[in-house]
Amino acid sequence: MSTIEIPYVSKPRPDTGLVNAKLGIWLFLASEVMLFGGLFSAYVLLRIGAEIWPEGVSILNVPLATLNTVVLISSSITMVMAWASLVRRDINKYRFYNYITIACGLIFLVVKYFEYSAKLHHGLFPSESTFLAIYFTLTGLHVLHVIGGMLVLAYLQFIGSKMWNTDPARFTGRVECAGLFWHLVDLVWIFLFPTLYLM
């Protein structure tokens, strides 16, 4: 029985200069930008049309959000270091930096849990105001993306890393694609933080 090889898995496509996985992740990230862009646009239109709008500083915990911003930016750095370690063919350093990236994601979620629980404890539910509805929608969707990114990174840390022994170039490409998604998650937070918490 003959096997059919899928083209452009490790070698770049002649038409785009990208491997299939990287082309796919860029298209997926474009759809994510449209999703969050639509929600940001709705926020702007609702805020412009509102007669009274609460300041995020008065309702939200800016110090905790600042901590989360630092944590996510740090996780982007460790994600790059994990990928760079694979480029240098050092799987042990990759695992070290990937662990740190996953840990940063976990810290972000724990901080977000305390922030959400404090709001709910004080009766600040999404149904209380348009601002809180937008806050919980945007940050909740972002939290789901953080969880999804962490699951992918955990897969690549454990089960998926077996590919390193058989096809290191392909595994490095997978980590790069996961890193691109993780950077988008961080970038969305960099827009969410000032938009919701500081303005």
Q: How far is CA 36 from CA 19, 23, 94, 182, 195, in A?
A: 26, 20, 30, 15, 13
Identify the pLDDT of residue 51.
86
Query: Per-residue pLDDT tens for 32-70?
Result: 999 999 999 999 999 999 888 888 778 999 999 999 999
Query: CA separation (Å) from 48 to 53, 59, 116?
Result: 9, 19, 26
Question: How many Å is the Cα radius of gyration of the chain?
Answer: 20
Per-residue tokens: 133: 């509805």
68, 108 in Cβ contact below 8 A? yes
* H or E segment to which residue 136 belongs: helix 130-157
169 has a pLDDT exceeding 60: yes
Boundaries of every domain in the chain: 20-198
Q: What is the 3-state secondary structure (H, E, C) of 41-78?
A: HHHHHHHHHCCCCCCHHHHCCHHHHHHHHHHHHHHHHH
CA distances from 72 to 69, 165, 187 (A): 5, 30, 9
CA 36, chain centre distance (Å): 12
CATH class (in words) of the domain with range 20-198: mainly alpha
Q: What separation, in Å, do the N-terminal and C-terminal C-alpha atoms of the chain show?
A: 64
User: 132 is written with which tokens?
Assistant: 């809180």
Cβ contacts of 7 within 8 Å, gap of 6 or more: 13, 20
pLDDT band at 181 (very low <50, low <70, confident <90, very high): very high
68-112 residue pLDDT tens: 999 999 999 999 999 999 999 999 999 999 999 999 999 999 999
> What pLDDT sits at residue 12?
82
